[in-house]
Structure 1
Amino acid sequence: MSIRIVMLGDIVGTAGRLALAQCMPALRERYQPNLVIANAENAANGSGLTPALHSKLAAMGIDGMTLGDHVYKKKEIMRTLEEDPTLIRAANLPASAAGRGWMRLTPTTSVAAGGERGPSVYVITLLGRVFMNLPVNHPFEVIEQVLSQLPSRESIVLVEMHAEATSEKVAMGWYLNGRVAAVLGTHTHIPTADARILPAEPQHGRPGGSPTLGAAGGTAYITDLGMTGPYDSILGRRIDRVLHHMTTSMHAPYDVAEGNPRVCGVSIDVNETSLRATAIERIDMPADVTKPPFTSG
């Protein structure tokens, strides 16, 4: 049997939240996921997450939420980060940072299977360091530490690489290939066309002569999930405001856009025995702004 996990890209502003609320029933009907996870760091007007919005997203059916470089933009989320085990910040922030760096989720299998519990799913978020402003620890070193500390080795592990540079995301995918079920990129808000299951690779070796750790294959990978938000925009922000700044170098508030809201991410099938991915499919669901909850009628 397999576990199906849906991971959604950065939820951006009101448009992203409304699109998610509208599309969630259809998403669940189509993909029949055992778990739905989402990056929620842009949910509060494009930057950060509040406790109230965290509760609303959970009520929509999001089982676990991750935060990236905007993790502390809303200070009121600190307590939720400390108390709610289904909300995490990046594992490679300093140890003294508020919140936890990984979460454990327990998926429920299908009703046909008697509602039995499948293997645990551990979700880990890492921040990249290339072109990123938030000081963080070395993501490759930290992921080794976290993997060694997980309570159970017989579990499904999903790693979110929240990074600017595509090279850093791809590198993490190959580094963890065969050791985790999935490495999924976020942060850049543009869905990429490289969703695939990484193949087994020969042991090329690493600097100093040590063998390549990730080589067995079976890891689902995509460089960026895209965003759950308005695609008639510049990365979720109003086109006119961003163009004004880029063409004049004058300040303009980067207000969140509204047009063409969509729900984007991936669906991943993971074998319960091997704990490796067998399939990955991109999700791109357009919302209808003429229907609730976009309209009051």
Structure 2
Amino acid sequence: MRIAFLGDVVGAPGRRALLQCLPDLRGPRRVDVVLANVENTASGSGLLPDQHKRFAEAGVDGMTLGDHAFRKNKIRSALESADDLIRPFNLPGTAWGRGAMTLRKPGLPAVHVITLMGRLFMNGPQAGDPFAALDGWLERLHAQHRDGPPPVIVVEIHAEATSEKVALGWHANGRVAAVVGTHTHVPTADARVLPRPGPDPTIPGDVRPGVGGTAYVTDLGMTGPDDSCLGRRVDRVLSFMTRCVPSPFDVAEGNPHAHGVLIDVDETTGLATAIERYDVAADVGAAPFV
């Protein structure tokens, strides 16, 4: 099976780029399951119910949120009732919504998706240990599949620090199909399927390494205007950074792209066989831009 995961959708340009690329993903790219981080959809911060509904109707199978998950209060009902929308798993249990989802489509194995928030240099909601949270969730999930085929699992790490993302990828290696990073909006060039690591020579008798086979990328990039500062107007950001003049960081418009990855998964093992970047320029002369 093939899974697409698109990076943070930013504002109106990102929404339109996402909607425009769906026929390409479903057709020539042969994607079975489309995932997207949508936490910057509403004017650059948060998600509104009508936007969630529009994406679902257009064919986005699963949507994730990060540190801006609760910026729009109206999304609470969808977070608490929808099967295709999650916020970070390692937030306090009293937070709105769920942190993991199971997507089921006819003829395909179920795809289990969890999103975790990093702790290094992150503002906003205080998150718990993403490593421990993932371990506990995986233990319960694998126990449910003990007598059947291995589950297909996709992990999103929404974090600022590349070191934290890379570490989580190695931590999950061999136990999940993919670990993808979001939040920093800049696509990274390290997409690969992690190999089987050797034992740690500093630990006597260490036999803990995973079996490999986990697709990994540090950041998907964003689905939004590339001619920008992380999706925001360049002039506004420069005004603040060079002259310390407060300025609204409005969403930019220029050169919208859809950035993400395509992941091929072996359904018999639940592990990845390939990962490739997906970077496509939107056609601003076509719908839904015009």
Q: Which residue of 2 aligns with 1:265?
A: 260
Q: CA deviation at 1:27?
A: 2.3
Name which of structure 1's ranges 141-150 and 241-250 shifts more when overlaid on structure 2.
141-150
The residue type equivalent to 1:88 in the other structure is: I
**SS of residue in 2 equivalent to 1:157:** strand
- Greater than 4 Å deviation, 4+ residue runs: 209-214
Q: Which residue of 1 aligns with 2:36?
A: 38
Inter-partner Cα distance in structure 1 for 2:139 and 2:208: 14
Inter-partner Cα distance in structure 2 for 1:122 and 1:50: 24
Inter-partner Cα distance in structure 1 for 2:205 and 2:180: 26
Inter-partner Cα distance in structure 2 for 1:205 and 1:32: 42
Cα RMSD (Å): 1.5
Inter-partner Cα distance in structure 2 for 1:206 and 1:85: 44
Structure 2 portions without partners, runs of 5+: none
The residue type equivalent to 1:96 in the other structure is: T
Inter-partner Cα distance in structure 1 for 2:116 and 2:87: 8
Q: Say which of 136, 148, 153 aligns to 2:139.
A: 148
Q: CA deviation at 1:118?
A: 2.3
Q: CA deviation at 1:166?
A: 0.4
The TM-score normalised by the length of structure 1 is: 0.92
Q: Say which of 153, 167, 188 aligns to 2:184.
A: 188
May I ask how many residue pairs the two structures share in their alignment? 284
Distance 1:57 1:143, change over 3 A: same
Q: CA deviation at 1:61?
A: 0.8
Distance 1:201 1:289, change over 3 A: same
Q: CA deviation at 1:152?
A: 3.2
User: What does residue range 244-283 of structure 1 map to in structure 2 within 5 Å?
Assistant: 244-283=239-278
Inter-partner Cα distance in structure 2 for 1:76 and 1:236: 23
User: What does residue range 185-264 of structure 1 map to in structure 2 within 5 Å?
Assistant: 185-204=181-200, 211=206, 213-264=208-259
Inter-partner Cα distance in structure 2 for 1:252 and 1:170: 34
Please list the CA deviations of residues 185-205 of structure 1 after superposition, one character each: whole Å capped at 9, or x if unmatched.
Answer: 000011110000000001116
Q: Say which of 130, 138, 161 aligns to 1:139.
A: 130
Distance 1:96 1:42, change over 3 A: same
Q: CA deviation at 1:86?
A: 1.0
The residue type equivalent to 1:163 in the other structure is: A
Inter-partner Cα distance in structure 2 for 1:128 and 1:260: 29
